[in-house]
Amino acid sequence: MMQRNSLYIGGEWVDATGNGTIEVINPATEQIIGSVPVGSSDDVNAAVAAAKAAFPIWQSSTCEERISVLNQLSAALKENTEELAQTITAEVGTPIDYSRMAMVGTPRVVTRSYAKMLENFEWEEQVRNSLLVKEPVGICAFITPWNFPLHQIIGKVAPALAAGCTMVLKPSKEAPLNAFLLADIIDNIDLPAGVFNLVSGHGSEVGELLSGHPDIDMVSFTGSTGAGVQVSQAAAPTVKRVTLELGGKSANVALDDADPVLVAKKSIGACFQNSGQTCSALTRLIIPKSMRDDVCEIISARVSGYTAGDPLADGTRCGPMVSEKQQKSVEAYISTGIREGATLLAGGEGMPEGLDSGYFVKPTAFADVTPEMTIWKEEIFGPVLVITTYESEEEALQLANDSIYGLSGGVWSTDVDRAIAFAKKMRTGQVSINGGAFNISAPFGGYKMSGNGRELGIHGLEEFLEVKAIQQ
């Protein structure tokens, strides 16, 4: 049990003034593993005031000081990898090897990347008779999700620290414990008091208060599209900067010269990573009609053998859904796919074989899915792959762009130039060619209802900067 009773405000652990606690449940065992306090409006105001008081200090810090803090944080994340990974696996249900690599390893590298970036960053530029000066945007509010909890926190905290901003973090109520461990780490590095503050609570209360707070200059939100709309509405009266990283229903397109065996094998992992609870998962596989039988045969066999179970056990490929609510939601989508006439290739309704507890669903794949079907249009956020076919490249592009979302995508072809040309026509923020690896220095973010703004890399840093023109 990890019971946290205090909030981190102004460089100190202080008693929360809100009522009650939020219990954290291990989705694999359905057991309570910890709790965090519910913050109140007084807690939010105290945290914002601490960040405001610290802003002049951190704003005037040198690049060398910021580099030192970022490197200290990266080293501390590495030193605490196992505790952080075990905690995230217990909170989210992510298989432990993936937790170590992606849930902790990636944030560590991201933090270090911003330290490196500051070494040569140009803060001033002369344009004719104007001196353009880049300055921190100010006091930031971060509202983060449960699916990649530490990664999404660091994706905001690291560039904000690099930019010279101060901040208040509200972590997700499903997976807040890792954020408290992060606060413990930050408390032991050379960061001035008040630069980083942590207030746990409910999004409808703490999140809304932060979004509308007059002393918050920027709010960065990652989560569902519906919640992102609410954040934008709450922020609108104060005309603060808002960045949103929201949902996705990303397309994975095989052109007619692609290797069907490779496409079939790789498309499963691209959809099922983190048990399918990934906003950028490639959940819609679009293949030539001539490939249909070969691809579906391989996917059917492989998904049927995809191991779901204890996320701490060796060989587990798919953990549980994060909560009972999420389990029921994914189950409902699977039932809807069957009812609406999609061809069930593997998986289906009910618990995976051998499991009678935990918030598990069967890793599932559907073929012959049409654009009118619910499972084609809506984000499922679980291990459910949907497959459709096309007859022309123009139809493939239309199908790929047939979504209210535009976060990620994939293209497969033996002709890389052809694949890139197709990718450029996709209305989405990122596209991988033939399984191209994720790049922490490339901007991450979406088109359309997948949000606005970018995280990671130089573009992620610039989201936390204002530009001032000084004429001479």
- CATH number, domain of 300, equals 3.40.309.10
315: left (phi over 0), alpha (psi -120 to 50) or beta: left
User: What is the C-alpha separation between 8 and 12, in angstroms, rounded?
Assistant: 6
In this structure, are 293 and 198 located in the same domain?
A: no
According to DSSP, residue 440 is labeled T
Q: Please say whether the beta carbons of 132 and 466 come within 8 A.
A: no
The count of structural domains within the chain is 2
- What is the C-alpha separation between 322 and 19, in angstroms, rounded? 25
If residue 113 lies in a helix (H) or strand (E), which one and from where to where? helix 106-118
Q: Which two tokens stand for residue 356?
A: 């009678």
Domain shared by 341 and 223, yes or no: no
285 with 217, same domain: the answer is no
For residue 270, the model assigns a pLDDT of 97
**Residue 284 belongs to some domain of the structure:** yes
Q: Which pLDDT value is given to residue 411?
A: 98
Find the DSSP H helices in 13-148. 41-59, 63-79, 81-92, 96-98, 106-118
Active site residue 245: yes
pLDDT of 146 reads 97
* Residue 112, token pair as written in the block: 């270090």
Same structural domain for residues 133 and 103?
Answer: yes
Under-70 pLDDT residues of the chain: none
Tokens 């790049």 label which residue? 439
Residue 182 has a pLDDT of 98
Is residue 38 in some structural domain? yes
Buried b / exposed e across 106-121, counting CB within 10 Å, b at 16+? bbbebbbbbbebbeeb
Question: Are residues 454 and 403 part of one domain?
Answer: no
| Residue given tokens 């703004």 in the structure block | 453
Rounding to the nearest 10 degrees, give the CA dihedral for residues 41, 46, 47, 49: 120
Instruction: Please name the residue that has the structure tokens 């933090």.
Output: 111
Q: Which of 91, 208, 245, 463 is flagged as catalytic?
A: 245
CA–CA separation, 439 vs 137, rounded Å?
26
Q: Which strand (E) or helix (H) includes residue 344?
A: strand 343-346
φ, ψ of residue 70 in degrees (nearest 5): -65, -40
Residue 143, phi then psi, degrees to nearest 5: -120, 115
- Write down the catalytic residue from 140, 165, 271, 279: 279
Same domain, 378 and 458: no
Contact of 138 with 165, CB cutoff 8 Å: yes
Q: Within 10 A of 346 (CB to CB), how many other CB atoms are there?
A: 21
Determine the Cα angle at 172 with ends 166 and 173, to 5°.
130
Residue 140 counted as domain residue: yes
Residue 391: count of CB within 10 angstroms of its CB: 11
- Contact indicator for 306, 294 with CB cutoff of 8 Å: no
> Is 445 inside a domain boundary?
no
C-alpha separations of 77 from 85, 265, 352, 381 in Å: 10, 33, 34, 28
Query: Is residue 425 assigned to a domain?
Result: yes
Instruction: Please tell me whether residues 59 and 167 are part of one structural domain.
Output: yes
238 and 262 in a single domain? The answer is no
Residue-wise pLDDT tens digits, 296-343: 999 999 999 888 999 999 889 999 999 999 999 999 999 999 999 999
The answer to whether residues 240 and 259 belong to one domain is: no
Q: Are residues 265 and 222 in the same domain?
A: no
Range of the domain at 97: 2-246+450-471
One domain, residues 323 and 273: yes
User: Tokens representing 462?
Assistant: 């610039």
Instruction: Tell me: do 223 and 363 sit in the same domain.
Output: no
- The CATH number for 147's domain is 3.40.605.10
Is 208 among the catalytic positions?
A: no
Alpha-carbon distance values, 406 to 38, 256, 427, 448 (Å): 34, 23, 6, 6
